[in-house]
Structure formats: C-alpha cells, structure tokens
Amino acid sequence: MNFLKAARYFLMTNFIGKPYLRYERKRGERKIAHLTGENSPLNPPLKITAYTKEFVSSHYFKGRYVEGVKPVAWVTSGAPIEILKALGFFLIYPENHAALCGARKVQMDLIETAEKSGLSNNVCSYVRTDIGSLLSGKTPAGKLPKPDLLVACSNICQTVLHWYRMLQKYLNIPLVIIDTPFVYNEIEPHQVEYVKKQLKNSLLPVAERIAGKTLKEKDLKNVIKLSKDATELWLEILNLCAERPSPLTVFDQFVYMAPIVEMRGDKETVDYYNAMYKEVKSRVNMGKGAIKRERRRLLWDNLPIWFKMRELALKLAERGINIPISTYTYAWGELAPLMNLKKDEFEVMAKVYLSPILNRGAGQKLKAMRNMVDRFKLDGVILHSDRSCKPYSMGQMDERNKLIEEFKIPAMLLEADQNDENAYSEEQVAIRIESFFEMLGVSHG
C-alpha cells in the first residue's frame, strides 16, 4: 500500500466526499416533494431515494482515490465477487457504469467515440458506452480507478468474454474467465464441481497474488453472509410489491437495485436495504401506492431503457398502469435461498453463479413469468426486445405467443435498446403502447 495515497484516500473520502454528498442528499430530499405535484399521476418517491444517490455516489467517489490503496477489480454483473470482497478488492462493474451513463443521458457521446474507434453499432450498447468512456476518459462518475484484475463470468452472455478480452488488450492486466455451463433443466453435480474448481484453481490464486494476501475462510463466510442478508432483504422488498396498490414501480426498482449489484457483500448495503424495507412496509400498511390510481398491473421482462425511464413511468401512470415487478429486478433476489451458510463456500458460490436467469432455458423463464403473473396479480406483460441484450431477448416472440394463446395473458413486444437512443423510435413505441392500452381496456385514461 502507498501510504501517501492511503492518506489522500482517507482525507478525500471522509473529509471532502462525505460532507459534500451529505449536503447533496439534503438538497435532494428538499426536491423530492416537488417531483410529484397535485397533477402528477405518481406519488412522491421513497424518502430513501435521496440517500440512494448519495450511497451509490460515495462508492464511485471512493473509486477516484482508491488506486494504490486497495486492489481494484472490474467484474461482470454475474461474477463471483465474494472471493474478491473477502480479499479486500474494490469493485467496479462496467455494466452498472454504462447504465449510470444511460440514466444520466450522457451515453450517446461515449457510444459515438467507441464507434469511431472501430466498434460496430451492432455491438452491445453497454460495451460501446464503456469502451467510449475508457478511450475518452469521460464519465459521470468523475473518474474510474484503473483495475489490477478483470473477472468475467459467462453466466450472463458471451459478449462479456469478448468485451473483457478487449479491456485486457487496452489495459494489459490479468483476466480471469469463469465458464458456467448453460443449465437446460436442473443443475447437475458435475457442473457445480466444474465451476467450483475454476473458483479455487483459476480465480483464487490470481486474486490472492494481486491482493498480496491469503484468503481466510472466516472472511469469505462473512462476505457470503452479508451478500445473503442483503439479497434476502431485496427479495422481501420486491415481494411487498405483490400488495395492491404496489408501493413501488419497476422504474423505482431499477434505481434501488444498484447497491445489490455493485455493493453486495458490504454491511452498509444490508443497512441500506433494512431501512428501505421498513419504509416500503410502512407504505404497504398505509395502503399508499407508487402511483395514485392503480388500475392495471404489468410485468416487465428484460433490462430497462435507461434513457427513457421517467417518460415511460409517467406515460403508464397517466393511464393508471403500474409495473410492480420485472424478471430483471427479481433475478437479483430469487437466488437468496441458494446461499446456504452451512455448506462449503465454494460449492455455494458455484450453485449461485450457475443459476442466473440468463444461464437457464427460455422455458424456465416462461415458467417464471407465468408464476410472477399469478403471485403479483398482474394483468399483462411487456417484453422489452432489447437490441443489445440478445440472450435476454432470445425467445421472447415465442414467449409472447404462449402467454397470449396458452395462458390468455395480454403481452406485447417493445423493441428498443437499453442505452442506444438510435435504436429507439418514439413513434413506434407510442403506437405499440397505445395498442396495448386498448387490449388492457385503458385506452381512454
């Protein structure tokens, strides 16, 4: 550790970052009441909303000064991060950073930079956003720390393998790839053993060498417990959205899910979701919904359209339509039961990271959607056919047809992209949504 950098990190994060972000939170809390006036179809957001921005911003603020203080790893969203956390790594998720750029509506300049460097516009918009940020040095986070290690796991898509090999070429640092076999039906013992060996024999030795320390079992157990606690709380929060009216919209959840992705395994994340659960539960007890007049309830499938969240939330709420849950947000909670603290830690991690929705068959996703329609008392499904996220979008046309024809559940395909505005047609989206409104019987407000 560089002691001068460590002193700078301590001073900047504790005496500059914390007071500034706290001040910004107070300003945000004062603004919240003005976000939704009497004429808005939305009720005011949770009070914890302003703190959410402070909490996530503090993570990125620490990242500006962490180089030389802690080892840094850039990881995919499906990577087994508990090992890295237990060794003291500071983690950055390029996918989350790309989503942040999209939500702040600064992504298109970065995408243009990446395309000018030679990346095709057919490449995932998350990749183009982050490569554009890497090449230009521009980011709404201020500055991303240079990683000492790259970790990619194939359980979300194959694109990340090419993406991280590209990052390795640019940054000239070690890359560890964890290969997770696709699960067609049930997880087989040999699949668990295969992933477990990679965690022990590929990831662990490299991570220990870069961290300059040996992994302690008690540290790993503690991180897994914190991950489990936060994940269970997130799942409980989402399950409260089965109440009518729902205390949250999916657009709220897309914001509130950030800590469960990029700060899983931290005590502060458990505290954050504890506080959120209490506030959401209070809303349920008061019978207060996220929107003022909840007439219909829908399921959202796939990633959000980050640059259009506010507009879509208002457009739906104006017709009394709420989306209280999505396959995407629920995916970050539904694996909590697999985190068995009494079993071997590496076996637990292997099972958990084999199980994400994108590493399982389309038939299992359809079954999950059907169950969510029943559990959350939903009236229909919007399937976001995401041009960038092909693994998530694959099979959606068949899923839509089965939902309509076999289960008699209204469903529509909404063609767009998570980050690329060039793949979004305002007119096409308006026409499809209006047609769906008619199908739901809410075409006249």
State yes or no: cis peptide before 245, omega within 30 of 0. Answer: yes
Q: pLDDT digit string (tens) for 150-180?
A: 999 999 999 999 999 999 999 999 999 999 9
Residue ranges of domains in the chain: 3-440
**Quick one: pLDDT at residue 98?**
98
**pLDDT tens digits, one per residue of 283-303:** 999 999 999 999 999 999 999
- Give tens-digit pLDDT for 114-144: 999 999 999 999 999 999 999 999 999 999 9
Which tens digits make up the pLDDT trace of 178-200?
999 999 989 999 999 999 999 99
With cut-offs at 50, 70 and 90, classify the pLDDT of residue 35. Answer: low
Could you read off the pLDDT of 54-95 as tens digits, one per residue? 999 999 999 999 999 999 999 999 999 999 999 999 999 999
Confidence of residue 268 (pLDDT cuts 50, 70, 90): very high
* Res 444 pLDDT > 90: no
pLDDT(445) > 60:
no
Q: Are 122 and 158 in contact (CB under 8 A)?
A: no
Using CB atoms within 10 A of its CB, is residue 29 exposed (0-12), middle (13-18) or buried (19+)? middle
Looking at residue 362, what is its pLDDT? 86
Task: Please calculate the CA angle 146-93-228 and round it to the nearest 5 degrees.
Answer: 130
Q: Is the pLDDT of residue 225 over 70?
A: yes
Closest CA to 419 of 254, 313, 307: 307
pTM value is: 0.96
For 1-10, write each residue's pLDDT tens digit.
Answer: 688 888 999 9
pLDDT above 90 for 37: no
Q: If you compute the radius of gyration of the chain from its CA atoms, what whole number of angstroms results?
A: 21
CA distance 61 to 289: 33
